Amino acid sequence: MRTRALAWLMPALLACAPALAGGLDMTDAERAAFGAEVRALLRDEPMLVGRALTPDPYAEEKAADHALLEGLAAALFDPARRGWGPPGAPAMVALTAPGCTACAATEPELAALAAARGLRIGLLDITEEPALAAELGLDSLPSYVLPDMLVRGDVPVFVLDGYLAR
Protein backbone atom coordinates (compact mmCIF):
# COMPACT_ATOMS: atom_id res chain seq x y z
CA MET A 1 0.00 0.00 0.00
CA ARG A 2 2.76 2.46 0.95
CA THR A 3 4.64 1.68 -2.28
CA ARG A 4 1.51 2.49 -4.28
CA ALA A 5 1.12 5.75 -2.37
CA LEU A 6 4.70 6.72 -3.13
CA ALA A 7 4.24 5.70 -6.76
CA TRP A 8 1.63 8.40 -7.34
CA LEU A 9 2.84 10.92 -4.77
CA MET A 10 6.35 11.36 -6.10
CA PRO A 11 5.27 12.36 -9.64
CA ALA A 12 2.57 14.60 -8.16
CA LEU A 13 5.11 16.41 -6.00
CA LEU A 14 7.52 16.71 -8.89
CA ALA A 15 4.80 18.10 -11.13
CA CYS A 16 3.54 20.67 -8.63
CA ALA A 17 6.91 21.90 -7.34
CA PRO A 18 6.69 25.12 -9.38
CA ALA A 19 3.22 25.79 -7.98
CA LEU A 20 4.52 25.31 -4.43
CA ALA A 21 6.69 28.34 -4.97
CA GLY A 22 3.67 30.37 -6.12
CA GLY A 23 3.10 31.84 -2.66
CA LEU A 24 6.66 33.11 -2.44
CA ASP A 25 7.66 36.56 -3.60
CA MET A 26 9.69 35.45 -6.64
CA THR A 27 10.02 36.33 -10.26
CA ASP A 28 8.87 33.74 -12.81
CA ALA A 29 12.51 32.77 -13.43
CA GLU A 30 13.20 32.40 -9.70
CA ARG A 31 10.01 30.35 -9.29
CA ALA A 32 11.06 28.05 -12.14
CA ALA A 33 14.53 27.65 -10.64
CA PHE A 34 13.04 26.95 -7.23
CA GLY A 35 10.72 24.32 -8.73
CA ALA A 36 13.64 22.69 -10.48
CA GLU A 37 15.60 22.55 -7.21
CA VAL A 38 12.64 20.97 -5.37
CA ARG A 39 12.18 18.39 -8.13
CA ALA A 40 15.90 17.58 -8.09
CA LEU A 41 15.92 17.26 -4.31
CA LEU A 42 12.92 14.93 -4.28
CA ARG A 43 14.44 12.85 -7.08
CA ASP A 44 17.81 12.63 -5.32
CA GLU A 45 16.43 12.14 -1.80
CA PRO A 46 13.26 10.02 -2.09
CA MET A 47 13.42 9.22 1.63
CA LEU A 48 12.28 12.79 2.33
CA VAL A 49 8.89 11.80 1.02
CA GLY A 50 9.08 8.40 2.70
CA ARG A 51 9.73 9.94 6.12
CA ALA A 52 6.81 12.29 5.66
CA LEU A 53 4.47 9.40 4.93
CA THR A 54 5.77 6.98 7.54
CA PRO A 55 4.14 7.12 10.96
CA ASP A 56 6.40 7.33 14.00
CA PRO A 57 7.16 3.69 14.92
CA TYR A 58 7.65 4.72 18.55
CA ALA A 59 4.47 6.79 18.93
CA GLU A 60 2.74 4.35 21.29
CA GLU A 61 5.84 3.93 23.46
CA LYS A 62 6.33 7.71 23.64
CA ALA A 63 2.69 8.21 24.65
CA ALA A 64 3.04 5.56 27.36
CA ASP A 65 6.26 7.20 28.61
CA HIS A 66 4.59 10.63 28.73
CA ALA A 67 1.64 9.26 30.71
CA LEU A 68 4.02 7.50 33.11
CA LEU A 69 6.12 10.63 33.59
CA GLU A 70 3.05 12.78 34.24
CA GLY A 71 2.03 10.41 37.02
CA LEU A 72 5.50 10.32 38.59
CA ALA A 73 6.53 13.94 38.02
CA ALA A 74 6.02 15.10 41.61
CA ALA A 75 8.22 12.31 42.99
CA LEU A 76 10.85 12.47 40.26
CA PHE A 77 11.26 16.23 40.02
CA ASP A 78 10.98 16.96 43.72
CA PRO A 79 12.95 20.16 44.50
CA ALA A 80 14.34 18.42 47.61
CA ARG A 81 15.96 15.67 45.51
CA ARG A 82 19.73 15.67 45.92
CA GLY A 83 21.79 16.47 42.89
CA TRP A 84 23.77 19.24 41.26
CA GLY A 85 22.99 22.81 40.31
CA PRO A 86 20.92 25.59 41.81
CA PRO A 87 18.01 24.86 44.16
CA GLY A 88 14.67 24.07 42.60
CA ALA A 89 13.01 21.32 40.66
CA PRO A 90 15.47 19.27 38.61
CA ALA A 91 15.36 19.65 34.83
CA MET A 92 16.62 16.07 34.57
CA VAL A 93 17.06 13.15 36.97
CA ALA A 94 19.87 10.60 36.70
CA LEU A 95 19.14 7.09 37.96
CA THR A 96 22.17 5.45 39.52
CA ALA A 97 23.13 2.74 41.99
CA PRO A 98 26.10 2.01 44.23
CA GLY A 99 28.66 -0.12 42.45
CA CYS A 100 27.64 1.14 39.00
CA THR A 101 30.96 2.09 37.42
CA ALA A 102 29.35 3.94 34.50
CA CYS A 103 27.20 5.90 36.96
CA ALA A 104 30.22 6.96 39.00
CA ALA A 105 32.08 7.99 35.84
CA THR A 106 29.11 10.09 34.64
CA GLU A 107 28.48 11.97 37.89
CA PRO A 108 31.28 14.57 37.50
CA GLU A 109 30.15 15.20 33.92
CA LEU A 110 26.56 15.71 35.11
CA ALA A 111 27.75 18.14 37.77
CA ALA A 112 29.65 20.08 35.10
CA LEU A 113 26.59 20.05 32.81
CA ALA A 114 24.39 21.39 35.62
CA ALA A 115 26.89 24.18 36.28
CA ALA A 116 27.31 25.04 32.60
CA ARG A 117 23.56 25.17 31.96
CA GLY A 118 22.65 26.73 35.31
CA LEU A 119 20.02 24.11 35.99
CA ARG A 120 19.41 21.38 38.49
CA ILE A 121 20.12 17.73 37.74
CA GLY A 122 18.68 15.38 40.33
CA LEU A 123 20.12 12.08 41.44
CA LEU A 124 17.96 9.04 42.17
CA ASP A 125 19.69 6.06 43.76
CA ILE A 126 17.50 3.12 42.76
CA THR A 127 18.48 1.20 45.90
CA GLU A 128 17.01 4.02 48.04
CA GLU A 129 13.81 4.36 45.96
CA PRO A 130 13.22 0.89 44.48
CA ALA A 131 9.47 1.33 43.98
CA LEU A 132 9.92 4.52 41.96
CA ALA A 133 12.70 2.92 39.92
CA ALA A 134 10.54 -0.16 39.29
CA GLU A 135 7.64 1.99 38.06
CA LEU A 136 9.94 3.55 35.48
CA GLY A 137 10.82 0.09 34.18
CA LEU A 138 14.36 1.07 33.22
CA ASP A 139 16.68 -1.88 32.80
CA SER A 140 20.11 -0.27 32.58
CA LEU A 141 22.09 2.29 34.50
CA PRO A 142 22.70 5.06 34.38
CA SER A 143 19.41 6.12 32.84
CA TYR A 144 17.90 9.58 32.72
CA VAL A 145 14.46 11.12 33.09
CA LEU A 146 13.45 14.46 31.63
CA PRO A 147 9.93 15.85 32.08
CA ASP A 148 8.96 14.62 28.62
CA MET A 149 11.24 11.65 27.96
CA LEU A 150 12.99 8.61 29.36
CA VAL A 151 16.56 8.05 28.21
CA ARG A 152 17.25 4.38 28.68
CA GLY A 153 20.87 3.54 29.35
CA ASP A 154 24.18 5.32 29.42
CA VAL A 155 24.55 8.05 26.80
CA PRO A 156 27.28 10.65 26.35
CA VAL A 157 26.70 13.87 28.25
CA PHE A 158 26.67 15.89 25.01
CA VAL A 159 23.52 13.94 24.03
CA LEU A 160 21.88 14.84 27.34
CA ASP A 161 22.94 18.45 26.79
CA GLY A 162 21.16 18.36 23.43
CA TYR A 163 17.98 17.06 25.06
CA LEU A 164 18.14 19.79 27.68
CA ALA A 165 18.65 22.44 25.00
CA ARG A 166 15.36 21.59 23.26
Structural domains of the chain in order of their starting residue, each with its CATH number: 2-53 (no CATH), 59-165 (3.40.30.10)
> What confidence score (pLDDT) does residue 9 get?
54
Report residues of the chain scoring pLDDT below 70. 1-24
Question: CA-CA distances (angstroms) from residue 98 to 14, 125, 128, 134, 144?
Answer: 58, 8, 10, 16, 16
Q: What are phi and psi of 87, to 5 degrees?
A: -60, 155
Dump pLDDT digits (tens) for 26-40.
Answer: 888 988 898 888 888
What does pTM read for this prediction? 0.68
Dump pLDDT digits (tens) for 41-66.
Answer: 888 887 777 777 788 888 899 999 99
Question: CA-CA distances (angstroms) from residue 71 to 54, 66, 81, 136, 145?
Answer: 30, 9, 17, 11, 13
